[in-house]
Amino acid sequence: MASREPGPSVLWLVRHGESMGNVADAHAHRAGAGRLELDVRDPDVPLSDTGRSQAEALGTWLAGLPQDERPTAVLSSPFERALTTARLATAGLDLRVRTDERLRERDFGAFDRMTGAGIREQYPAEAERRDLLGKFYYRPPGGESWADVALRIRSLLATEGLRHDCERLVIVAHQAVIMVFRYVLEELTEQELLAVDREEQVANASLTRYERLESGAFRLVGFNEVAHLTAEDEPITEEPDAAQQP
């Protein structure tokens, strides 16, 4: 009988709290603008005040778990909004927050800070190419596709599975990264993943939880859970409709 591959016993996927980029994106969509108003590069975009409160609410919930259910390790995207979320959410757990660049946000390349409306206006040929290839395989000029992100996630799971064998691991990352985790861990097809993406947007500071089975496979226990936010009367924030995303 083949031995079980190493890996965490429990895996929590957390999207970062609301960022100033999320706020700017919402404003741009409401105004019908083609570009977000931000004066910092994407890795440095901070949390909004709401985002910090959301991360702290998550921290209250994690710290309130029984000792034998609390996280034992934390891994974060190095982007400021994710790293701050990770630190605030695990402040009461006495855990070191490690970063891994493979968890960074998907690179939008030339479309960074642009809305779907702006892309269709300024890059109509690229908009047509995206419609042809589909969201999963389309790569913006100089950027990444979701398939590219999947390669990062497969690499991370291979190395961090060894490091965190049998641990309860929290990973703090970004919406597209969490969706691609689902694709990899559940062995979804492109069509199945995009169907999930159409039905539900990953909320800021939400929890997606997997448990490891005896076979070594991961079983989805909860997706996009926000009860810890509503318990603290924190607002639930998420992206505009998926169809409007670049």
Instruction: Please give the chain's pLDDT, 246 residues, in tens.
Output: 456 788 999 999 999 999 999 999 999 989 999 999 998 999 999 999 999 999 999 999 999 999 999 999 999 999 999 999 999 999 999 999 999 999 999 999 999 999 999 999 999 999 999 999 999 999 999 999 999 999 999 999 999 999 999 999 999 999 999 999 999 999 999 999 999 999 999 999 999 999 999 888 999 999 999 999 999 999 999 987 544 555
What are the two backbone dihedrals, phi and then psi, of residue 83, each rounded to the nearest 5 degrees? -65, -40
pLDDT at 3: 66
pLDDT at 74: 98
pLDDT at 2: 54
Token digits of residue 212: 């490891």
Burial 12-42 (b: 16+ CB within 10 A, else e): bbbbbbbbbbbbbbbebbeeebbbbebeeeb
What are the two backbone dihedrals, phi and then psi, of residue 217, each rounded to the nearest 5 degrees? -75, 160
pLDDT at 241: 59
Helix axes 190-199, 175-185, angle to 10 degrees: 140
- Report the relative pairing of strands 207-212 and 168-173 from DSSP bridges: unpaired
**Contact at 8 Å (CB) between 55 and 88?**
yes
Q: What share of the chain is helix, strand, coil (3-state, %, to 5)?
A: 45, 15, 40
Distance CA 139, CA 130 (A): 8
pLDDT at 5: 81
pLDDT at 239: 83
Distance CA 176, CA 143 (A): 13
* DSSP β-bridge partners for residue 74: 97, 170
pLDDT at 138: 97
Distance CA 78, CA 103 (A): 8
- pTM, whole model, 2 decimals? 0.95
Distance CA 119, CA 111 (A): 7
Token digits of residue 52: 């910090």
